[in-house]
Amino acid sequence: MPDFLSHPPPDSFAASLSALLGTLPASVLLIGAVAFGLIIGSFLNVVVHRVPIMLERAWRADISELTGQPAGETPTGRYNLWLPRSACPHCAHTLKAWENIPLLSYVLLRGRCSHCHARVSLRYPLLELASALCAVASLLTFGPNGMALAAFGLCATLLAMSAIDIDTHLLPDSMTLPLLWAGLIVNFNGTFASLPDAVLGAIAGYLVLWCVHWLFRLVRGIEGMGYGDFKLLAALGAWLGWAALPQIVLLAAVAGAATGLAATGIGRMRFEEPLPFGPFLATAGAITLFFGTPLYLALGS
């Protein structure tokens, strides 16, 4: 892996900050990365739980406005990523501060609500742990600078979108489109790819899966892929450049096919049942972010 200062940021403020952080012991930086990753992971759990609910409320409001019919029983009060306070989904018990400590609260409470003792989904600590691992990987790969922060931001967003896709089979535009624009902005000075490569990556990423979607529809008469997948691959192209797309698509396709066959073989899903493709694209994108394109080297050797 590259050393901590192998990728100095271009501007003087970021360079000064990188130099300051570079004076800290590696152990302190790693502990800070773990803590930061866990905190962000806790917030990602809120995103995964609330964004689908927020989208459903918005859809109901839009339908009500278009049809002139009441939206049905929609809870009143503000509901966003900040309000109301986190609560148990089973008994609505408002969580105290000590019940919201990433990972530690789950262990202390033995994975159950302190009020109703209902089991808390294992997804919560796993997402927090995955976020911490992404923070550490970003630090070790790119060093204590803006590049590492950008890489972690990409990974955190991919984690949240993957979890939402698994739960709902949706990749919200409110997340895929900002991620695409963020990739172009980050690469304005060639952080992960040159700006022309990033623009071409966004275009090619969308068109590749759009063509697959319509080819599948012409051959089999059904939709084999959602539009959210197009936008996610476009976002990955904007972050990593067009040259990364073949590896991302190949890794995602192989992993998705293997998972689908395995799940069908053990009876966990039916052959015709759709499998969310977003998590496989996200994983392939993260692999390419941290390891480059080793598949090209393997194929060329």
CB count, 10 Å around CB of 243?
16
Extents of the domains making up the chain: 1-168, 174-301
- For residue 37, is pLDDT > 80? yes
pLDDT of residue 266: 82
Q: Residue 220 and residue 212: Cα distance in Å, rounded?
A: 12
As a whole number, mean pLDDT of residues 196-203 equals 97
255 to 69, 118, 279, 297: CA distances (angstroms): 45, 34, 10, 20
Q: Are 70 and 64 in contact (CB under 8 A)?
A: yes
- For residue 236, is pLDDT > 90? yes
187 to 183, 204, 236: CA distances (angstroms): 6, 16, 12
Q: Residue 238 and residue 294: Cα distance in Å, rounded?
A: 20
- For residue 9, is pLDDT > 60? no
As a whole number, mean pLDDT of residues 108-128 equals 93
Q: Residue 224 and residue 217: Cα distance in Å, rounded?
A: 7
Q: What is the pLDDT of residues 85-108, one digit of tens each?
A: 888 888 989 999 899 999 999 999
As a whole number, mean pLDDT of residues 59-79 equals 78
- For residue 84, is pLDDT > 70? yes
Flag the least confident range among 26-35, 148-157, 220-229.
220-229
Nearest to 165 by CA among 57, 56, 281: 281
Q: What is the pLDDT of residues 238-281, one digit of tens each?
A: 999 999 999 999 999 999 999 988 888 887 777 667 789 999 99
pLDDT of residue 248: 96
Percent of the chain whose pLDDT exceeds 90 = 60
User: Is this model's pTM higher than 0.75 or not?
Assistant: yes
Q: Would you place residue 8 in the very low, low, confident or very high pLDDT band (cuts 50, 70, 90)? A: very low
- For residue 290, is pLDDT > 90? yes
Q: What is the mean pLDDT of the chain?
A: 88
- For residue 298, is pLDDT > 80? no
- For residue 10, is pLDDT > 50? no
pLDDT of residue 1: 41
- The one-letter code for the residue type at 216 is F
Whether a cis peptide bond, with omega within 30° of 0, leads into 172 is no
